[in-house]
Structure 1
Amino acid sequence: MQKIQFVDLFSGIGGIRLAFEQAADSLNIESECVFSSEINSDARLVYEKNFGQTPLGDIRLIEKLPEHEFLLAGFPCQSFSHAGKKEGFGDTRGTLFFEITRLLDSYKPQAFIFENVRGLYNHDRGQTLATIKHEIKKRGYSFDAFLLNSANFGLPQNRVRIYLVGILNASPNFKLISDLGPKDSHSYNPQQLSLFYPTKKSVTVGDILEENPEEKYDCSPEFVNALKRIFNNDLNRLHGVRLIDYRGGNSIHSWDLGLRGECSSEEIELMNRFILKRRNKEFGQEQDGKLLTQEQIASFFEHSELREILNSLVTKKYLKLINNKYKPLSGNFSFEVYKFIDPNKISVTLVASDANRLGVYHNHRVRRLTPREGARLQGFPDSFILHHNDNKAYYQLGNSVSINVVKAVAQEAIMKIPINSLCTR
């Protein structure tokens, strides 16, 4: 049987490795990870539990690698601060990407797959990606960049990431198609974007939910009661609702819930109009940081006791008074949940900073998504061992990759390398 040897850099908890192994197995090719590197000790712990190997630490201290055909890396997106100073490209020295090019120079693997955040595509007006492309192509590799959405690969998550693929001394034609997918998690329409993932029944959040998770994931009775009051006990109306203080639309605000003190109907109405109006250009070009005077507020909220209402909102800390101008005090991180996902739709993007505050109303319970459900959103099998600390598990999953997407990318990349370049058993 043919065998691919690969290295796994910036490995995190091992998502790219897992996906690559699945891809090779689907093509009846054996794979062997000959080296892995990850600087975070918590991620190394999870990696070791699942793969029986402990990644080495700082990539900058790596001097030698075993021979390998594939280089995999989910490298951090660092700013190329000197972009444009040399032949229209930035200088990669001093960045972690330089460590990757250093290893490419030394070992010339047959191919690479890199994963990164969507923002890399347009970072520094495209100069960062141009720098990467320039550095890769001058080393003899092809260079393709795909923007792929996890929702198009059988996962109920609206997650766009960039995937960079290169084959040594080749000009491959990949069947993958860049596609940003749905505008939001409520407008998902499955499409056929890969030879390996034809159109099929769309997967929704409901497909990944646990039937009876532990009670520790339930929201507090006080929070639930406030939600019941707002929705007249019809909690099905929670589906798709955001909890955020500086946007309108399908949102619940801290003053609706009375998190800092119960508000009168007039106070709620003023705050709702404030959020809507302060984003209008009639009060200036600023967006979320705009401050309004009492006179400006009176132009859209006429009330004989306006000053008293404003003072009450300042006292309750829904508004802040700065130089006789009013500004809402954002309470977004005080919410137990920042978004209730709809079981009949797909999820918003799972991110490290607040993966622990995604909520759902399911089986008559108002609760947070569990770490296992977060892992399912990313395509990890239930056999994958998560960190024993929930908050660390949430963080790691938000930083990880979508298994299905990397698997599809890896399948195509593996088929593009010369067969005679693989070792045999």
Structure 2
Amino acid sequence: MKTIRFIDLFAGIGGMRLGLEKAAQKLGIQTQCMLSSEINADSCWVYEQNFGESPLGDIRSLEKLPNHDILLAGFPCQSFSLAGKQAGFNDRRGTLFFEILRLIKSDCPQAFIFENVRGLLTNDGGQTLKTIQQDIEAIGYSFQVLLLNSANFELPQNRLRVYLVGVLNACPQFSLFSDPGPKDSHAYNVQPLSESDWTRKKVTVADILEEDAPEGYNCSPQLVEALKTRLGGDLNRLHGMRLLDYRGGNSIHSWELGLRGECSEEEIELMNRFILKRRHAEFGKDQDGKLLNQAQIATFFDSPQLGTVLASLVAKNYLKLIQGKYKPVAGNFSFEVYKFLDPNKIAVTLVASDGNRLGVYYQGRVRKITPREAARLQGFPDEFRLHPKADRTYYQLGNSVSINVVEAVAREVILNLTPGELGQKYSAGESSD
């Protein structure tokens, strides 16, 4: 096989394409994109800037696909995401899988690679994945599910995604196998995921940071000063710290920073206990936290000044009173950063909704990560042209794939398609570099 012809559906900004092309190049094989499809105009602009091709629109308008060898599709994940309602095929976006199936039947490529969120595995009690498998196998494809973490592919990001892989009329032999990787971004060790002799180096957030990030990504002086005060001037304590108002643990809250008004130590202690205790079963079954009255609060905060303290917190808008019960005003204050990455560890998952609020304390600066740093977390090369508007870049990258992971999966697929000596050569672990 001298040239692999492929199709890039739900192309986004081209992450899956980059991964496939990178794998093929290392195997000494050329690639040719026969068709790409994407409906988001901003993503199409980025795709065209980098590949010189303008993707077609909605795949539902396509009657059939041109002849090709491998089909790529990062089909919509919102229907299966743990962050969403997990509506699956009951969601209109979920039914787009059946559009992919229709198009596969129009040309029957030799193989496919699909990417989605891990929620796909458990959606509808596993019935969604079972349906996909049955439909794929019914048209002659093998079906393999790989649960892979970007952290195991030389990317400093704890990103767990599902890859569905199939080869037509074959029983492929893949050396990759599923591994969820580290449970926590701060407890990270490199794990080999292949039976081959690939060497995997341990990479950290520090490896993707820019030495001269633009000043515009600095956090505001007000926030920096509040953090210094709270942390006794030791900003190194920001590594791995969260800024949010509805969890405890390694977190800093708005009342501890005095962002809506300075709080006394007693007020801070009450709020810290409140956000933890309100989740306890003794106050109800709502796991997201209950509204508590003063008598309930008194069971874990014994103070003769309780009424005065509560009134002060309401006045400062850290608590609100609803029909005699108190509720934290969580979420109404938008922190500039919700999570500070630890340069010596790996990042949390980059997501579309708040990738612009990941921060870092590095070289004496408290700042947000830059769009280029976000791109590096996903494995995009520095020559890749990003959208000129930062907010759109963060969104696109959060929705994209990790290039290194796609490359590893694509390599496995290519080796199972490549006939003769070439396939034997690389299956033996030799390199074309």
TM-score norm. by structure 2 comes to: 0.92
Alignment of 1:125-274 (within 5 A): 125-194=125-194, 198-274=198-274
Could you say which residue in structure 2 is the equivalent of 1:85? none
Could you say which residue in structure 2 is the equivalent of 1:47? 47
Shift of 1:311: 1.1
Task: Verify the 8 A CA contact 1:298 1:306 in the aligned structure 2.
Answer: yes
Could you say which residue in structure 2 is the equivalent of 1:367? 367
Shift of 1:92: 10
d(CA) in 1 for partners of 2:120 and 2:178? 14
Secondary structure in structure 1 of the residue aligned to 2:412: helix
Shift of 1:196: 6.4
Structure 2 vs 1, CA of residues 140 and 92 (structure 1 numbering), >3 Å: closer, same or farther? farther
d(CA) in 1 for partners of 2:408 and 2:11? 18
Residues paired across the two proteins, number: 413
Shift of 1:200: 3.3
d(CA) in 1 for partners of 2:182 and 2:291? 34
Could you say which residue in structure 1 is the equivalent of 2:119? 119
- The answer to whether structure 1 residue 38 and structure 2 residue 43 are counterparts is no
Shift of 1:90: 7.0
Secondary structure in structure 1 of the residue aligned to 2:124: helix
Deviations 1:45-103 (A, max 9, x none): 000000000001111111232210100000013659xxxxxxxx979998100110001
d(CA) in 1 for partners of 2:358 and 2:332? 13
- The answer to whether structure 1 residue 97 and structure 2 residue 111 are counterparts is no
List alignment gaps of at least 5 residues for structure 2: 81-87, 423-433
- The farther-off stretch of 174-183 and 344-353 is 174-183
Could you say which residue in structure 2 is the equivalent of 1:303? 303
Task: Verify the 8 A CA contact 2:151 2:181 in the aligned structure 1.
Answer: yes
d(CA) in 1 for partners of 2:203 and 2:411? 22
Could you say which residue in structure 1 is the equivalent of 2:69? 69
- The answer to whether structure 1 residue 379 and structure 2 residue 408 are counterparts is no
Structure 2 vs 1, CA of residues 147 and 335 (structure 1 numbering), >3 Å: closer, same or farther? same
Secondary structure in structure 2 of the residue aligned to 1:313: helix
Deviations 1:138-180 (A, max 9, x none): 0100000111000000000000000000000011121111111
Shift of 1:201: 2.9
Shift of 1:375: 0.3
| Amino acid across the alignment from 1:56 | L
d(CA) in 1 for partners of 2:333 and 2:40? 25
d(CA) in 2 for partners of 1:197 and 1:419? 22
| Amino acid across the alignment from 1:229 | T
Shift of 1:264: 1.2
| Amino acid across the alignment from 1:2 | K
Deviations 1:195-254 (A, max 9, x none): 568343310000110001110000000000000001111000000001111110100011
Structure 2 vs 1, CA of residues 49 and 259 (structure 1 numbering), >3 Å: closer, same or farther? same
Could you say which residue in structure 1 is the equivalent of 2:431? none
d(CA) in 2 for partners of 1:311 and 1:92? 45
Shift of 1:351: 0.2
Secondary structure in structure 1 of the residue aligned to 2:99: helix
d(CA) in 2 for partners of 1:91 and 1:271? 40
Task: Verify the 8 A CA contact 1:256 1:263 in the aligned structure 2.
Answer: yes
Structure 2 vs 1, CA of residues 128 and 333 (structure 1 numbering), >3 Å: closer, same or farther? farther
Could you say which residue in structure 2 is the equivalent of 1:324? 324
Q: Extract structure 1 runs of 4+ deviating beyond 4 A.
A: 89-94
Secondary structure in structure 1 of the residue aligned to 2:77: coil
| Amino acid across the alignment from 2:413 | A
d(CA) in 2 for partners of 1:98 and 1:140? 16
| Amino acid across the alignment from 1:348 | V
Secondary structure in structure 1 of the residue aligned to 2:273: helix
Could you say which residue in structure 2 is the equivalent of 1:110? 110
d(CA) in 2 for partners of 1:36 and 1:78? 21
Task: Verify the 8 A CA contact 1:147 1:163 in the aligned structure 2.
Answer: yes
- The farther-off stretch of 307-316 and 209-218 is 307-316
Could you say which residue in structure 1 is the equivalent of 2:18? 18
| Amino acid across the alignment from 2:263 | C
| Amino acid across the alignment from 1:318 | Y
Deviations 1:90-125 (A, max 9, x none): 799981001100011110000000000111111111
Shift of 1:294: 0.4
Task: Verify the 8 A CA contact 2:15 2:401 in the aligned structure 1.
Answer: yes
Shift of 1:263: 1.1
Task: Verify the 8 A CA contact 2:279 2:289 in the aligned structure 1.
Answer: no
Q: RMSD across aligned C-alpha pairs, in angstroms?
A: 1.9
d(CA) in 2 for partners of 1:393 and 1:257? 30
- The answer to whether structure 1 residue 344 and structure 2 residue 335 are counterparts is no
d(CA) in 2 for partners of 1:262 and 1:128? 51
Task: Verify the 8 A CA contact 2:64 2:107 in the aligned structure 1.
Answer: no
Could you say which residue in structure 2 is the equivalent of 1:412? 412
Task: Verify the 8 A CA contact 1:120 1:129 in the aligned structure 2.
Answer: yes
d(CA) in 2 for partners of 1:159 and 1:197? 23
d(CA) in 2 for partners of 1:282 and 1:197? 54
Could you tell me the percent identity over the aligned residues?
Answer: 67
d(CA) in 1 for partners of 2:59 and 2:194? 33
Structure 2 vs 1, CA of residues 294 and 319 (structure 1 numbering), >3 Å: closer, same or farther? same
